[in-house]
Chains A and B, each alone.
Chain A
Amino acid sequence: MTARPFASILDGLTRQRWVTAALVVSERDGIVVESNLQIGQSGDRLAALAASLYRKARLSAKAAGLGAVSFMQLEAPGGRICAVGGGDLVLVVVAEPAVNVGLVRVELLRAVGELLAIGGDEVG
C-alpha cells in the first residue's frame, strides 16, 4: 500500500480544466482520506460539509424510493461541488463555474470503480 493510494484518481480529476480541488472523504466520519488542494483551500472544512451533504442526499433519495445516488452536484455563484460515492468513501470535486460538468461527471463515475477497488466495498 502506497502512502497516497488514491493519487492517480485525484490527479486525473485535478487535471481537468477549471477543477480546483479533488478529495477522497470518509462518508461516515467526514474526514479527508486523501486530497489534491490548492493553497488556501480548507480540505477539512470542505470534507466535513460535503460528506454530510452527500450522506443526506443519499438518504433522501433512498427515502423517496429513488435508489442509490449516482452523482450529486451543487451549483453556487462561485463554482460547483460534485460528488460520487463508492462504499464508505465519497469522491468530491470543486470546480469553477466554467467547468465542463459533463466531463467531470464522466470522470467521477469512471473513478468510482477504481475507488471501490482500492478502498471501498460496495456502491453507495
Chain B
Amino acid sequence: MQMTVVEAWIEAPLKRFVDDAGAELALLLHPSGQVLAQHGFARAVDVMTACALAAGIHASSGELGRQLDGRPFRGLHHSGRTRQIFLAEAQSPRGAFVFLTVFGPESSLGLVRLYFEELVKGLAAAAPPLEATAGPALAEHFERDLNRNLAVLFGRA
C-alpha cells in the first residue's frame, strides 16, 4: 500500500511509524477533518469518511474528557476481533493534528503507543516554521481544500 502526503515533511516520520509499529492504516489530519497524509487507503472516499469520523470522535472524546476529568482524553483505543484502532492528538509546532491508525495482530497497543510518541517527536523535528497565519478551521473554502488534498493524495491534482 502506498503512502501519500499533502506536505512532504510529514512523510519520513509517518513512514517510520508505519514500518516500526506494523500499522495497516494510518491517517494524519487537522482537527477540522482536513487530511494531511494517509497510508494504506485505496479510495479517496474512504479517506474522507475516516477523516470526518476521526475528527468527530476526537472532538467528542476531547469534550467528554473535559467534562469528566477537566482535560481532554489523550488517546482512544478500540479493540476489535482482529483489528484495533488507536486515535490520538499529535501536538506539533504547526498546531495540533489528529492521528488515526489501524493495526492487526502482528502489532500491539504497546508498540503503537511507543512509536506514536516517536512520531510526535519526529513531526515536531521535521515541521517547517509556520509561514502565514492559518485561516479558521472551518473556512468557506473547507470543501475546496478537502477536495484539493484528496486529489493530491490520490494523484488527481
Q: Which residues of A contact B (CB under 8 A)?
A: 25-26, 28-31, 44-45, 47-49, 51-52, 55
Contacts and interface: CB of A to CB of B under 8 A. Distances in A.
Contacts of A51: 108, 110
Contacts of A28: 105, 108
Nearest to A32: B110
Contacts of A31: 108-110
A32 to B, nearest CB: 8
A30 B77 CA distance: 14
Interface of B: 105, 107-111, 113-114
Nearest to B84: A29
B114 A29 contact: no
Nearest to A31: B110
B109 A52 contact: no
From DSSP, what is the main secondary structure of chain B's interface residues?
Answer: helix
B143 to A, nearest CB: 39
A45 B116 CA distance: 12
Contacts of B110: 25-26, 29-31, 44, 47-48, 51-52
A70 B46 CA distance: 44
B42 to A, nearest CB: 28
Contacts of B108: 28-31, 48, 51-52, 55
A124 B111 CA distance: 20
B127 to A, nearest CB: 24
9 contacts: A25-B110, A28-B108, A30-B109, A48-B110, A48-B114, A49-B111, A51-B110, A52-B107, A55-B108
Nearest to B110: A30
